[in-house]
Amino acid sequence: VYVYSNHWKSGAGDAGLEKTRIQNAGVLRKRLNEIFKVNPDANVIIGGDLNTHYNQLQRYPKMGRTAVQDVLGSQGSIEKFTSADNNGAVLYNLWYDVEPSQRRSDSYQGEWGTLMQIIISKSLANGSGVDYVGNTFGAVVIDGLTAKSPARVPNPVTLYGPGAGVSDHFPVMATFAVYNKDAKEAIPLKRPEVTPSAALTEIPGPIDRSKLIRASALEKMSAEQIANSINELIVIDGTFLGGGKKTSAVKVGEKTYNLYLSNPKVTQSIKSVAKGTAVQWVGILHFHKNELEFEINNTNFLLPR
């Protein structure tokens, strides 16, 4: 089994940086072509943080050409993947073996992404030898460890106080097994190919604020408690101080916090809020440039209650 661990150039939505990822994918594709030329049935597993989505072209059609789909050959058609004509050019991205609503390994500006990926060659889905076990791929979401509740977003590392957190991406995992030829216990790929163009919204509905920490409580918390609250949803119970296009501010008690408005819809909604208004918003607590701040990336966060 050939296993390739990858970490491609960051900036999934940047067309200029996609050119660098195309180079990254080209290096790997060249090596795969060499392997498949010698052995078309080679077992290959490609994994890592590709900093690109499994549906990159659908999410960013203006890019025209993408690293993971167009250069590497990652896709979700079982028919193309298992075809006798496939000599290794067509690979299968295991995100296609997951319900579309559950395809998530990372979050950015209120949307879910799939930067963490595992991609396989067709000999790992032929029912003999080393094989991927169908319906076993997915993100490892463990509340309190890899995930922050109640939003269940990744738990990133923070350097606030004593430090805390794990990673800004969920790990992904898949099960592989060794089968005898044409083993009846093998679990094949069955899920139809579905490639949505829209990103999943991180938190699609209202939030139960009764379960959240209030910003007014932060001043009484220890550094360790605050570190463990980084990237948590917090009720911002304070006074709106106004601001600019992407940043605003709010006063909670005697302390002023910056608001990072990462979603244009949020920025537009806040334009109608008068300076001095008492608010009960929700924000994600961050530690940025040695200061605590709140990110508001979802219009649901601006609901009165």
Local mean pLDDT, 10-residue blocks, the chain (305 residues): 98 96 98 97 98 97 96 97 94 97 93 97 93 96 88 91 94 94 81 92 81 94 95 94 86 95 91 93 94 93 79
User: For residue 284, is it within any domain?
Assistant: yes
Give the CA distances from residue 170 to residues 26, 148, 163, 288, 304, in Å, rounded to whole numbers and listed in that order.
26, 11, 19, 21, 31
Give the three-state DSSP class for 5: strand
User: For residue 194, is it within any domain?
Assistant: no
Say if residue 122 is in the same domain as residue 220: no
Distance CA 117, CA 48 (A): 6
User: For residue 162, is it within any domain?
Assistant: no
User: For residue 63, is it within any domain?
Assistant: yes
Provide the pLDDT for residue 208: 84
Say if residue 122 is in the same domain as residue 242: no
Provide the pLDDT for residue 275: 94
How far, in whole angstroms, is CA 185 from its chain's centroid?
Answer: 32
Say if residue 219 is in the same domain as residue 124: no
Residue owning tokens 């940086």: 17
User: For residue 184, is it within any domain?
Assistant: no
Provide the pLDDT for residue 202: 83
**Nearest CA-CA partner of 29 in 58, 91, 77, 72:** 72
Distance CA 252, CA 239 (A): 7
Cβ-proximal residues to 226 (8 Å cutoff; 6+ apart), any chain? 160, 161, 218, 285, 292
Domain containing 238: what range?
209-302
User: For residue 56, is it within any domain?
Assistant: yes
User: For residue 23, is it within any domain?
Assistant: yes
Cβ-proximal residues to 34 (8 Å cutoff; 6+ apart), any chain? none
User: For residue 192, is it within any domain?
Assistant: no
Provide the pLDDT for residue 305: 61
Provide the pLDDT for residue 184: 78
Q: Residue 220 is part of a domain; what is its CATH number? A: 2.40.50.140
Say if residue 93 is in the same domain as residue 216: no
Planar angle of CA 279, 261, 252, nearest 5 degrees: 35
Say if residue 107 is in the same domain as residue 227: no
In the chain, how many domains are there? 2
